[in-house]
Amino acid sequence: MGLMCNINNLKESRNYTESEINNYIEQFLQECSKLTEKPTHNSFQNTKAWKYIKKCLETLKNREEVDTEILDENEAYSYVLNKYQIFDQIVTLVDRINAGERDKMPLFGLPLAVKDNVTVKGIPLKNGATTGPYMPSFNATAVDSLVHAGIILVGKTKLNGFGLGANTTNVKSIYGEKYIVGGSSGGSGVAVGGNSVTCSIGSDTGGSVRCPAAFCNSVGYRPSKGLISRFGLNELSANFDTVGFITNTVYEAAYLTYITSGYDIKDMLSEYDSNRTKQSILTVLHNFNTTKSLLLNIIKGFKILVGPLDNLKGLKNVKIGMFDAEEICKLGFIDEENKVNMENVARITSELGAEVVKLSIPPLDKLTSIYYLETAKQTTTNIRRFNQYPYSSTQINTVTGLILSLEKRIQERFLLGEYVKFSEFDIETLLKDERENMNKWVKENKLFSEVEFFISPSTSEVLPIRNLEFESKNVYMLDLFLTIAPILGLCSLALPVRNSNRPNSLHITAGYLQDHRLFEVSNIFEEYLKAQSRST
């Protein structure tokens, strides 16, 4: 029996006998059955992606087409791999086992989705906007690392055009169609939040991973600048772009970061010291079980202990900075629901033993405005690369034609960038001055030294409704708290609180290349919140 099942489309197809097909499938499923106790794999067999993979294997020997709705009921994907492409990956994994490489595949069989502005060899790249037949001949470095670790790619996820904006309009929210999903990694957020996959690659420029993660009740992680290679990520704004992850748990985000981090000569902004942080993340991963045991002592019978917790406190002697929730609400930076959420987060932070330090409030609206101007200017240059074949179809062969084919919000950003670019508006000096002001703010508040972390809301609203008023007025306000990390090159993580039927979250920021500490503290919050949720 001959099967055209080659994900890369760059080599001749291989013919398989029915016996070979059965052996590959049996060996793959047998290996996967051993993995359910691993923290990275303990829920993957409950995902829609796993059901899709099994359906692909069941129908491999006949002409029955597999309904992609099994995987994609929320319309999060721009491309779903077919059963032959799935099988081709399984063949590679099993062949590697038989070659003695099982130990090199810690993520064996784990389904993964990848945002459609990250290159995957042999899979079309659309960037949320292009119409041409462009098919990359190489993997992004992050994708390559994860493929080598044993993942199975199931599809590419949607984004708003070229990664612009805080909402992905053609994806259904897991909370209902009237709500926005965030952006630009909206497809990746919904894929994880909707239980299609447990982990997804996204990209974060000014909040593009953390915003949709917050709206989809998931973990959204942005690494320190230079920790994870950007090679293979379509450039939106080189000053701020990073590869990031949306996952179900902090452990999964930390593990994906360990696999993908490290110096990469192919990325001119890759950080030499990233290998040191990589090893620190590995140490933190080994200690995660200890953290869980410690917090189980804090939570007794799933009831919060009353009275002093003494040495059982997970954040004892840690100082964490926070804005006063009442003050930022009065300034219009957050809504009332978010204010209540942040007051609850402050209480939990104290319960865990940390000292909450009140931070002065920087001009977040000004900071975000300057960020938008700078990225708009860079975007106008980057978009111009995509108006010709093979990125665009023959019907769209001018920049004007390309821009007019995009949605209104992207057109506005392009025109803003054109204005900034051709006027005498010195946005680079403004950005430099604002970065200096933010560094002064960091120093005055003793952040990332005496005060090791700061916690803020993830977004200005907990879950905005999709309507014209929001699109015209409030969409730029969503990123108020998210632009600090990219402007200063810091790492940050959006963490779901999961204490109601609304996607309340908190946003933790740590110092440069302190990603291991970010994961460590985020895990403490996550385990405490899980136990608290079970006790109510």
In a domain, 382, yes or no: yes
Q: Tell me which DSSP letter residue 472 carries.
A: I
3-state secondary structure of 516: helix
Residues in Cβ contact with 68 at an 8 Å cutoff, skipping those fewer than 6 apart = 52, 77, 80
340-358 tens-digit pLDDT: 999 999 999 999 999 999 9
> Which of 112, 111, 97, 106 shows the shortest CA–CA distance to 38?
106
| Predicted local distance difference test score (pLDDT) of residue 426 | 86
pLDDT of residue 302: 36
Indicate if the alpha-carbon torsion angle 410, 412, 416, 421 is positive or negative: positive
Cα separation, 425 vs 377, whole angstroms: 11
Instruction: Sort strands 453-456 and 319-322 into parallel, antiparallel or unpaired.
Output: parallel
Mean pLDDT of 431-439: 95
Q: Looking at the domain assignment, is residue 305 inside a domain?
A: no
What pLDDT is stored for residue 310 in this prediction? Answer: 40
| Contact partners, residue 413, CB within 8 Å, separation at least 6 | 164, 165, 372, 375, 376, 379
Asked whether the beta carbons of 478 and 461 are under 8 A apart, the reply is: yes
Residue 356, sorted as left (phi over 0), alpha (psi -120 to 50) or beta, turns out to be beta
More confident residue, 400 or 323: 323
CB 507 within 8 A of CB 456: yes
- Token match 């990603």: residue? 515
- The answer to whether position 413 is within a domain reads yes
Residue 374 placed within a domain = yes
Residue 79 CA to residue 155 CA, distance in Å, equals 5
Nearest to 284 by CA among 309, 257, 310, 262: 257
Cα separation, 137 vs 8, in Å, equals 8
pLDDT at 413 exceeding the cut of 70:
yes
pTM, two decimals, is 0.93
CB 266 within 8 A of CB 498: no
Nearest alpha carbon to residue 202 among 141, 154, 246, 264: 246
What does DSSP assign to residue 470?
I
Percentage of the chain beyond pLDDT 90 is: 69
DSSP code of residue 446: T
Q: Please give the average per-residue pLDDT across 28-38, as a whole number.
A: 92
Q: Residue 179 forms beta bridges with which residues?
A: 465
- On whether residue 512 sits in a domain, the answer given is no
| Contact yes or no for 109/152 (Cβ under 8 A) | yes
DSSP SS3 for 114: strand
Task: Give yes or no for residue 311 having a pLDDT over 90.
Answer: no
Is 437 within the bounds of a domain?
A: no
Tell me if 464 is assigned to some domain: no
- Residue 441, CA atoms < 13 Å, CB-side half-sphere: 19
Q: Which of 23-32, 38-47, 248-257 has the lowest mean pLDDT?
A: 38-47
What is the layout of strands, in order, in the sheet containing 77-80? 77-80, 152-157, 111-115, 199-204, 242-247, 219-222, 491-496, 505-510, 453-456, 319-322, 355-358
The pLDDT, as a whole number, for residue 12 is 56
Give yes or no for residue 303 having a pLDDT over 90: no
Residue with more model confidence, 422 or 442: 442
Residue identified by tokens 């447990």 is 198
Between 479 and 100, the higher pLDDT residue: 100
Print the domain residue range for 407. Answer: 366-427
Q: How far is residue 295's CA from residue 346's CA, in Å, rounded to a whole number?
A: 18
Residue 49 clears pLDDT 90, i.e. is over it: yes
Query: How far is it, in rounded angstroms, from Cα 182 to Cα 165?
Result: 8
Instruction: Write the DSSP assignment of 477-504 as a string of letters.
Output: GTTTTTSHHHHHT-EEEEEE--SSSS--
Structure confidence by residue, pLDDT tens digits, 270-301: 999 999 999 999 999 999 876 665 555 555 43
Structure tokens at 397: 């062969």
Whether 256 is in a domain gets the answer: no
Confidence class for position 484, pLDDT limits 50, 70, 90: very high
Number of domains in the chain: 1
What's phi and psi for 337, nearest 5 deg? -60, -40
Average pLDDT over residues 312-332: 92
